[in-house]
Amino acid sequence: MTHIRIPTPLRPYTAGLREIEVDGKTVRDILQEVTSKYPSIQPHLYDDEGNLRAYVNIFINEEDIRNLSGHETPVEENDKLMIVPSIAGGSDESEILPFVDHAALRANQVSIIAFLLIAFVADLPLISSIIASIMLLGTLTKKPGFLPIYRALRWIGIVKPDRLRDYSEPHQFAQGFGAVVLFLAAGTFFFELPIVGWTLVGVVIFLAGLNLLLGFCVGCAVYYWFNRLGLPFFQRAAPIDRTPGSRPTREKAI
C-alpha cells in the first residue's frame, strides 16, 4: 500500500485525513482510488474535461509528475506521494500558483550558456543549432530542454529541487524565444554572416546569464506584457506580488 498526503485546504473533502492509504501501480490508479473514496475532492483536482487543474501539483518522492510520465508515472510500495495546491501572495488570496522547480531552470540556463560558449570558442555553429533544437523540443514538451542533465545532477547529489510558486508558461515561452533566436543565427551562418550569427548567439547567452545570475527572465517579462495586451495564448497574468519577470521569493513548500 502507498500513502498520499493531503494538504490542509483539501482535508475537509477527505474527512479530515492528513494521509490516505491507497493501492495502485500508477499515479492515475492512486488518484482514481482517492476520488472514488472521496468524490467531493474530485472537482478540486480535475476540471470539467478531466484534466488535472493547473494549480494542483502531484509529487512523487519530491519530483513533480509533470517532469516524469504524468499520470502514467509508476508507483512503488514505498513511494511517497503528495498533492500540493499553492496560493500566491498578494491581496487576492484566490490567485493560485503551481510550484515550479527553479533548480531545473537554472540547470537549463547553465547548460545553454556552457554549450553555446563551447560552440563559439570552437567556432562550431552546428552546436548552436543543436542547442536550438533541444530548447525547441523542451518548449513543445513543456519542460526544460536540458532536464536530463538536471536529473543526473540530482541523482549524484550536486543539486536539490528548489520549488517556488510560479507559472511555468512564461519560462516555456522564454525558452522558445531563445530557440527562435538561435535558429535565426543558424540562418545567418548559412548565408555566411558569422558576425551576425555569433552576435545572436551572444544575445541568448546574455539573456540566460541575466536570468541565472540576477534572477530576471526577460522572456517571462515579455510574456506577461503580451498578456496585458490581450494577445491569445498568453493567458497567465503576472503575479501581483512581484515585478513581471523577476524570480519569486523562496518560501517553504507545503
- For the chain, give every domain's residue range: 2-85, 99-228
d(CA 246, CA 252): 18
3-state secondary structure of 63: strand
- Give the chain's end-to-end CA distance (angstroms, integer): 23
R_g over Cα of the chain? 20
Q: What are phi and psi of 46, to 5 degrees?
A: -125, 150
Query: What's the pLDDT at 138?
Result: 96
Handedness of CA 64, 213, 142, 145 (dihedral sign): negative
Predicted structure pTM score: 0.66
Return the bridge partners of 45, or none. Answer: none
Backbone phi, psi, residue 180, to 5°? -60, -45
Three cell numbers, residue 59 = 509529487
Distance CA 172, CA 9 (A): 29
Q: What architecture does CATH give domain 2-85?
A: Roll (3.10)
Q: What is the pLDDT of residue 242?
A: 74
Residues sharing a CB contact under 8 Å with residue 171, sequence separation 6 or more, in sequence order: 100, 105, 144, 217, 219, 220
Residues in the chain where the model's pLDDT stays below 70 = 86-97, 240-241, 250-254
- Which grid cell is 35? 476520488
